Structure 1
């Protein structure tokens, strides 16, 4: 054990660690600033309501970060760990079906409330699908001595598990999580190293099954999927100013916040849009408040920080010799990068709003906890990567 910790510290990835810490602390400050009026008006009457809750979330996140950082990533491909993760995932999905909440508030029944706390299974699913698919493909590569010899028939079981999870999240009508889970799986499969006809056959089958699943969801869940809130978001995306008094209200006030910030911003804590104009500014629209208070420089700080994590993940994935490390690092990078794109795309009007949070910055307990665990795992992968790189040099 002592030897392991010495090796770990010698190969510690300080860039990843301090970037993660900085983004979390920066997000904590902005949550306090963005959420103070909402805390006073709608919660417990204190301006630091969301700050205190996020501080608790980050404390729990620090614990799971350490667990992920010191647990050897190779163990995620072991059968007991994979089965335990799958069992937890199935229980969570079934639980949210029977006793889930959130339909009235968010339009999707995707939350579990337990002992006064809320948990979102779809956030757990994002990390689980990376580890489960990566572990499954890695075991197949060991069986055949090369992942290139794996056929679609060999990976049918993990794909069925993924489709089950996708169907579970889809029937919650959590479209943002549904889209992210779809592209995470595509990224992991692409990074697995499967080549040629096997990869082509896989995507053909996946496209067919995915299309069928989407059609079934649309037939049986059309009214829920395209409820008033989501239909309004589509309208707001096409022309928010035409629906300024309704579905376009949040988008337009987001634009106003961004426009008022300019280059330098109006100053930390000085936003006017958070004073009851921009709904839930501490959540998926927190970047609009950052732009208003800190200007383009504040936005650039966030994008550079997240960009460093994503690029570091992809660098490890593209240069490592270990297929499991490649799939885990690339999967985590794809998750963070794609979720950031969806959030910023919604805030800027590039794509319709989905209610997806900005990684590390937005308020949210389940999100920051699972991202912290993912960063711990990525740090562990990086440690082994740096160690192996030194041995080869």
Structure 2
């Protein structure tokens, strides 16, 4: 009887334990689920950011490989799209290709040299870089300056070599802005230490001369670079709202006072291509090129729109020629390479410990990826026509050389591993702080 009583007791007590434990699990389930979700968010951020030397090496080779692949495609498409106009101008069909190849060689050399420099070296060059940028921009308004397409944004150096100072100013702006904001790291919580030392001098010294040369497209890219630097410095989001409204008002004012810009805006809103002999000639024929390319394209070198239907097809509208000759597949390859480059740059920026390096690399990332997005959006009709080249691909020695040099800077940062990194600033920092606090 005793034995059976013991068994009976055990049978009655076991369900109570199960019920008790089940009740505990039921009460703790929401907290457990929330903790697991936050842990998954942290894991996701870690995967995006990457950790250790293995991730650093992967980002390095992704940046290098995508940049070189885009440059090689650009050289090929410059040869294809410029040959017809070169022959029409009684020049060799290889003249622009050879010239672009020389600048590509200079750019790759600068990239390899800069990839070996340390952040301290860059930081010492911040103010000299700004001074050089301002001097070159001001030389545009001297007898050395030259107007192209209604924009006074070129200088002709002794020997006949042309240089676009605004391309140098993009890299100089990124470097100087990173040095200034990093020096004020402890004061960045006050908006005055973000606006006064960066936005006001940058607008006057860099954006001002570019606007004075009537180059609104490049000025917009420079303003985008400034916004990117402030974002990676951890500027409050309301500051971007105010700055965005001011920038929009300025752009609208510049559009209203310029009949050419107003005509382009009206043409873009109309989206009519019944006649293609006016301001819509470039945009409409670009769309025709993309449409005629279909899935696989008409064949490399077989474009019909490059026969002076698209003016300067090897420059701002080279993406349309890619779509016509290589089809949708070719354009998707370009987008994929820029996507790979963007992912590698995000990983590199998020992994950085130094505020200076994070702002410098982040500004370059916003510049290259943002400019590529703007150019492709213009060609596909999502934005009105803006004179902005496609990085690595459009013809232009100054742009290609400086962009490859900027890639060298990114490679030098991707080479380092941030074992004891600080919490990143900006939106990523706030996301990581939220997930970390929830996990704890």
Q: What is the Cα deviation at residue 77 of structure 1?
A: 2.5
Shift of 1:194: 3.8
Residue in structure 1 matching 2:284, options 211, 235, 252: 252
Distance, in Å, in 1 between the alignment partners of 2:211 and 2:222 is: 10
Listed one character per residue, the Cα deviations across residues 278-299 of structure 1 (whole Å, up to 9, x for unaligned) are: 2111111111111111111110
Aligned equivalent of 1:160: 200
168-177 or 243-252: bigger deviation: 243-252
Pairs aligned (count): 364
Q: Evaluate the alpha carbon distance shift between residue 110 and residue 148 of structure 1 in structure 2; reply closer, same or farther with a 3 A threshold.
A: closer
Q: TM-score, normalized by length of structure 1?
A: 0.85
Structure 1 equivalent of residue 320 of structure 2: 288
CA distance in 2, matches of 1:263, 1:213: 41
Given the alignment, which residue of 172, 179, 187 partners 2:220?
Answer: 179
Match of 2:408 in 1: 376
Deviation for aligned residue 1:315: 2.1
The normalised TM-score by structure 2 is 0.76
Instruction: Kindly state the Cα deviation for residue 359 of structure 1 after the two structures are TM-superposed.
Output: 0.7
Residue matched to 1:233? 264
Q: Which moved more, 1:268-277 or 1:365-374?
A: 268-277
Structure 2 CA distance for aligned equivalents of residues 102 and 33 of structure 1:
27
CA distance in structure 1 between the partners assigned to 2:327 and 2:249 by the alignment: 45
Cα deviation, residue 157, structure 1: 2.7
Aligned to 1:267: 299
**Residues 66, 341 of structure 2: 8 Å contact kept:** yes
C-alpha contact 1:77 1:136 (8 A) present in aligned 2: no
Residue number in structure 2 paired with 1:137: 181
1:83 corresponds to which of 116, 123, 127 = 127
Q: 72, 87, 90: which is aligned to 1:25?
A: 72
Aligned pairs (5 A) from 1:102-121: 102-103=146-147, 105-115=148-158, 116-121=160-165
Instruction: For residue 70 of structure 1, give the secondary structure of its aligned residue in structure 2.
Output: coil
Q: Is the 8 A contact 1:309 1:333 kept in 2?
A: no
Q: 1:77 to 1:260 in 2, by over 3 A?
A: same
CA RMSD of aligned residues (A): 2.6
Residues 318-372 of structure 1: per-residue CA shift (max 9 Å, x gap): 3333222221222111111111121111111111111211111110111001101
Q: Assess, with a 3 A threshold, how the Cα gap between structure 1 residues 99 and 331 changes in structure 2: closer, same or farther.
A: same
Indicate which of 376, 388, 393 corresponds to 2:418: 388
- Mapped pair 1:346 → 2:392: no
Matches within 5 A, 1:203-222: 204=242, 206=243, 218=254
Moved more, 175-184 or 317-326: 317-326
Which range is displaced more, 167-176 or 368-377?
167-176
Gaps spanning 5+ residues in structure 1: where?
Answer: 1-6
- Asked if 2 retains the 8 angstrom alpha-carbon contact of 1:285 and 1:347, the reply is yes
Q: Cα 1:201–1:303, aligned 2, differ >3 Å: closer, same or farther?
A: closer
Give the whole-Å Cα distance in 2 for the aligned partners of 1:60 and 1:156: 36
Distance 1:292 1:258 in 2: 5
